[in-house]
Structure 1
Amino acid sequence: MGLPLINLVRFKGIPILKQLHLEEQLLRTSSHNWCIINDGTNSPTVVMGLSGKVRELVDIENVVRDHIPVIRRFTGGGTVIVDDGTLFVSLICNRDDFPSVQPYPRTIMEWSSLIYSDVFQGTADFQLRENDYVFGKHKIGGNAQSITRKRWIHHTSFLWDYEARNMGYLKLPARAPQYREARSHTEFICKMKEYMSRSDFICKTIEALENQFIVSPTDLDIDSTIQNTDYTHSTKLLSKTELEEAQA
């Protein structure tokens, strides 16, 4: 059998809320495989997993004071703050196209880590540790999934660069990876820009995808795609009232 086809869509700097709305819609309503690459997002934004508790994960006083948006996404996983220094790669796949990949988060991550092993080959000590992509003991990418009866999405936010002060909008989670060893945010993560350029990462990611898929670059108008549908998104921007109520 030949390789499955995947539609590759590339964006630069689109708002993360729009990206998440598009991904959720494609997962639920499309029958095609998709790869979405977004080179940065337009402004600092906190993004929480589906079941995350705001009061435990976000410094609510600081995000309200500084007007930092907080989004609850449709996938599981942890809480991150993203901005122009974050590179996003999302894979939306039909389960039948990858019968050897069991539809569970761990096996999906093990499969996807093979793609990124090709991307970072000869660059750094890349590994999948617990639920994170790391260079050695330092996190470079956080992962999340949503799995349906016939499809799944695996998306990653890569820390090409970050503003240390933005990490102050996040609290230390009560449940953390064992390899974190109680390190602070800035001691726990590292910047990919110290190892490769943004353009190299994107080019190498596309090359690595070609080992798993027939890659078809595709133009997609994100606004018209999201708006021309009756689909109701579960990903939402939390209001100031919702944040303040969570703090009470």
Structure 2
Amino acid sequence: MSIPQSRRIVSPLMNLIRLKGFPILRQLHIEEQLLRTSSENWCILNDGTNDRAIVMGVSGVPAELLEIDSVLQDEIPVIRRFTGGGTVVVDSGTIFVTLICNKDAVAGLQPYPRPIMSWSGHVYSRVFQGIGDFHLHENDYVFGNCKFGGNAQSITKNRWIHHTSFLWDYDVRNMAYLKHPKRVPEYRLARNHLEFICRMKDYMPREAFMEKTVEALKSDFSLRTIELDALDSFSDTKFCPSTKLLLRHELERAALHRR
């Protein structure tokens, strides 16, 4: 027997943007613009960023988080994003997944950090079903007790964003730019960066992860692919983002204050 049209449950629409090698600074500008000026739900899936960069949370202090002399010597761009969370070195081995939603997009989801984090853990549990010992540990995605996905959020009056940097692979040398942060999750204990993180490529092919992520979102949303050049019709193009590239003199001043 067919279900009457009025009784069918219609999943909310989510626009999907798929990118490859897209500059992370520009991506963050787009994300903030969509969060603050669009009224639709979005998923941005970026398969790596071609140019290496360091991305810090909105309240990050360079002198406490970075080996500034090495960062300056190697001319690594440092970006302060508009969301909270920690610091990460990103490059072509990083996969970015961003979810931007209206507060009523997911039925029953309270628009607060912990519920959103928990919901995201359920989404990715579908992606990694039967693969490794995946779980959400504090605010991280882990296999066993090793982190491979770091998260950040921002919540506005009517909308929220949850974005993740996945370490599909990483260059060991990049870890030397990061200090051991003062605040760390309890499960990290005294482990250094290389003991604390793992590579997602040891568990799952790159393309399989991206396809499974899209499939997992279909449990809550009806997905529609949008081309990047069509974004102007969805948001205010005059928006001025708060995410910014830190200038060299700002990092040099931070290094001086540290001494």
TM-score range, shorter chain: over 0.9
Q: Please name the residue that 1:160 is paired with.
A: 168
Q: Please name the residue that 2:217 is paired with.
A: 209
Q: Please name the residue that 2:110 is paired with.
A: 102
Any conservation in 1 of the 2:43–2:99 contact (CA below 8 Å)? yes
Q: Please name the residue that 1:133 is paired with.
A: 141
Q: Which amino acid letter does the alignment assign opposite residue 184 of structure 1?
A: N
Q: Please name the residue that 1:31 is paired with.
A: 39
What is the alpha-carbon distance in structure 2 between the residues aligned to residue 27 and residue 224 of structure 1? 14
Any conservation in 1 of the 2:38–2:236 contact (CA below 8 Å)? no
Following superposition of structure 1 onto structure 2, how do residues 216-231 of structure 1 map, counting pairs within 5 Å?
A: 216-221=224-229, 229-231=237-239
2:104 alignment partner, SS class: helix
Structure 1 residue ranges (4+ consecutive) displaced by more than 6 angstroms after TM superposition = 222-228
What is the alpha-carbon distance in structure 2 between the residues aligned to residue 116 and residue 16 of structure 1? 22
Q: Please name the residue that 1:46 is paired with.
A: 54
66-75 vs 100-109, which moves further: 100-109
Q: Which amino acid letter does the alignment assign opposite residue 174 of structure 2?
A: N
What is the alpha-carbon distance in structure 2 between the residues aligned to residue 124 and residue 130 of structure 1? 18
Q: Which amino acid letter does the alignment assign opposite residue 16 of structure 1?
A: I
What is the alpha-carbon distance in structure 2 between the residues aligned to residue 31 and residue 228 of structure 1? 11
Q: Which amino acid letter does the alignment assign opposite residue 89 of structure 1?
A: V
Rg: which structure is higher?
Answer: 2
* Offset from partner CA, 1:150-192 (integer Å, 9 cap, x none): 0000000000000011000111000001000110101000001
The structural deviation recorded for 1:114 is 0.7
The structural deviation recorded for 1:80 is 0.6
What is the alpha-carbon distance in structure 2 between the residues aligned to residue 225 and residue 56 of structure 1? 41
What is the alpha-carbon distance in structure 2 between the residues aligned to residue 176 and residue 187 of structure 1? 14
Any conservation in 2 of the 1:22–1:222 contact (CA below 8 Å)? no
Contiguous gaps of at least 5 residues in structure 1: none
Q: 1:225 to 1:71 in 2, by over 3 A?
A: farther
Q: Please name the residue that 1:8 is paired with.
A: 16
The answer to whether 1:151 aligns with 2:159 is yes
Any conservation in 2 of the 1:27–1:151 contact (CA below 8 Å)? yes
What is the alpha-carbon distance in structure 2 between the residues aligned to residue 26 and residue 227 of structure 1? 6
1:221 alignment partner, SS class: helix
Contiguous gaps of at least 5 residues in structure 2: 1-8
Measured on the aligned residues, the alpha-carbon RMSD in Å equals: 1.6
Q: Which amino acid letter does the alignment assign opposite residue 221 of structure 1?
A: D
Count of aligned residue pairs for this structure pair: 248
The structural deviation recorded for 1:98 is 2.2
Tell me the TM-score normalized by structure 2.
0.93
Q: Which amino acid letter does the alignment assign opposite residue 167 of structure 2?
A: L
The answer to whether 1:173 aligns with 2:181 is yes
Any conservation in 1 of the 2:38–2:234 contact (CA below 8 Å)? no
Any conservation in 2 of the 1:25–1:226 contact (CA below 8 Å)? no
* Offset from partner CA, 1:18-62 (integer Å, 9 cap, x none): 100000000000000000000000111100000111100011101
What is the alpha-carbon distance in structure 1 between the residues aligned to residue 235 and residue 67 of structure 2? 32
Q: Which amino acid letter does the alignment assign opposite residue 188 of structure 2?
A: R
What is the alpha-carbon distance in structure 2 between the residues aligned to residue 27 and residue 213 of structure 1? 18
1:12 alignment partner, SS class: strand
